[in-house]
Amino acid sequence: MNILNQAFKTPYTTAPFSQINNEDFLPAVKAEIQKTKAEIDAITSNPEAVDFENTIEALEFSGEHLDRVTSIFFNLNSAETNEQIQKLAQEISPLLSEFGNDVRLNEALFKRVKTVWEEKDQLSLNPEQKMLLDKTYKNFSRNGANLPEDKKATLRNIDMELSKLSLKFGENVLAETNSFELHITDENELKGLPESALEAATDEAKSRKKEGWVFTLNYPSYIPLMTYAENRGLRKKMSLAFGSKAFHGNEFDNREIIKQIVNLRQQRAELLGYKTHAHFVLEERMAKTAEKVNSFLAELLEKAKPAAKREFSQLESFAKETDGIDRLEKWDGAFYTEKLKQKLFDLDDEKLKPYFKLENVIQGVFTVAKRLYGLTFEETKDIDKYHEDVKTYKVLDENKKLTAIFYADFHPRAGKRNGAWMTIYKNQYKRNEENSRPHVSIVCNFTKPTSSKPSLLTFNEVTTLFHEFGHALHGMLANTTYPSLSGTSVYWDFVELPSQVLENWCYEKEALEIFARHYETDEVIPMEYVKKIKESATFMEGMQTLRQLSFGMLDMSWHGANPKDITDVKEHETNAFKSTQLYPETSETCMSPAFSHIFQGGYSAGYYSYKWAEVLDADAFELFKEKGIFNKEVADKFKENVLSKGGTENPMELYKRFRGKEPQPDALLRRAGLIGSK
């Protein structure tokens, strides 16, 4: 029998990766869909009077094993993919899309759900049950349950097509990332690059059976070259390659796919009675409306733009003085920003990296989690994994009781998409007197160890690790009854709060002293460096804010208005970027064809949420700063009202319960140095 269709007889019922063959996935998914259909049929044919337990709860716990199988499959498709998995994804995604619609468009099932929903005021439901009922009803009503049959059929076709297109989008970006290499054989071309970057490039060349140095578009290879290479021509070549992924007019070009995706999303929204895709999405967000998002972005733009212009002018003058550069281009930004930062603060990543050995930073984030939330992480070898690089841990609470299983996957490889993310292999939930604990994973693309050095992280990689670990804590500390309300299953513009708030500890002396130790001498990071990290934290913050706002505004330009008249992707993007543009335009590059967050991930009409959550996290961290960054009382309040509650209540109510008031945007502007302190 297919291993995937059985209860997993593994430690803690973890995914049995080593026993799974790729060809197991398609038949397993088909079999689990049939099982889940039988569970749905049992609900709709139940002769007893319709109630919350036999309809809403029964539906909530249906398809549990289907969720597990598909989570394994799609996580592998992101972290350890190959041609066979990608081909399977093109078959499996439409099946799941069709099945999802079979459920949401099942009239008998919706009739039962609607009956409970209409009686909700007479039922004695607790807040979590009310939220589950509301979410379940909206999952039907917002996805076509009230539509006539012909429109339901149209919706099914749209959803199936969208599932295929977003997969293809991601495959194209990965193919373009993997197909590019910059092969250098003359060391003189690489002046300015630190030894660590050269060693990594040598290792990359050797792995490809080449002499010299090879640089790729993976972040640990790309960013050092853009930051330190004195050869402006090389920086330009890399910048144009990075900025033109899936924009080459070849088989991997994503422009037509983008137009198809945004138009299908618009059709879907109109079919369901919404003005645009953004209006549909934002109804279930803290922001609520496209108008509110646009005014939020515009307000931050107004406050950040003067600072950004001043910073850009400062950078231009510095580049001219230093190297006689008359016109600052995109490929000059990171290089001269780093040079100016070194001049002003006498600080650079190469000075800091020896203090950020990956293993020490991991232990550091574990210690922070222990001091805040009482968690202990024990590495274990008896949990199966999908790649030898993956580390596995048992997470225990203060009473040595299992809280979660944690997977961590840190380095780039050909089968892994770029970036960093947190994901879940198994949700937490409570059922039959048991609190079933979650299996949580973080996936990153950090600097690899070389033949002579361990993995030494840039400071940006340190904050990325803390960020993803903040998401992981949200998953690990979940304590809800229902899996669909557990952990990170919250409004999208609330989900970044736990991740972004944890980044703040990276800037605090008390936290840095725990893990920032020289990898050779074990010397704690000098306090002068800590001081400079703090001072430089807001360096070029205006430009950085403008960059984030530009992505949010690009997202809203694709999804906040009818896209039917957009014929040229590049032209549309150029117009969307006009109010945030500082660098000269380059005709060879276009961001949208590789903007995976909004065309492959779940951030469509939601990219603004990074900035939205920054408002929350800056406001939340002010309380920690006020009481002490390891204050148990504040940590307990955050755990109780945010981390453990998942999506069981309205996020603003949860936030106010933690903070005692609504968040103040000024906290973010103060932290960014864009307005004065209190």
Q: List, by residue number, the catalytic residues.
A: 468
In whole angstroms, give the CA distance from residue 151 to residue 170: 29
Token match 């960054």: residue?
Answer: 629
386 DSSP 8-state letter = S
Say if residue 381 is exposed, middle or buried (CB neighbours under 10 Å; 0-12, 13-18, 19+). exposed
**Residue 609 and residue 621: Cα distance in Å, rounded?**
18
Which residues make beta-bridge pairs with 439?
405, 426
Axis crossing angle, helix 83-104 with helix 149-179, rounded to the nearest 10: 160
Q: Looking at this protein, which amino acid is placed at residue 382? A: D
CA distances from 642 to 633, 660, 661 (A): 14, 13, 14
CA–CA distance, 637 with 386 (Å, rounded to integer): 36
CA distance 24 to 28: 6
Contact indicator for 180, 216 with CB cutoff of 8 Å: yes
Token representation of residue 383: 């949990």
User: Is residue 101 within 8 Å of residue 159, measured between CB atoms?
Assistant: yes
Residue 16 CB contacts under 8 Å (≥ 6 apart), including other chains: 3, 8, 9, 10, 384
User: Do 498 and 642 contact (CB within 8 A), yes or no?
Assistant: yes
| Tokens found for residue 54 | 């036999």
SS3 261: helix
Instruction: Tell me how far apart the alpha carbons of residues 456 and 453 are, in angstroms, rounded to a whole number.
Output: 8
The residue length of the chain stands at 678
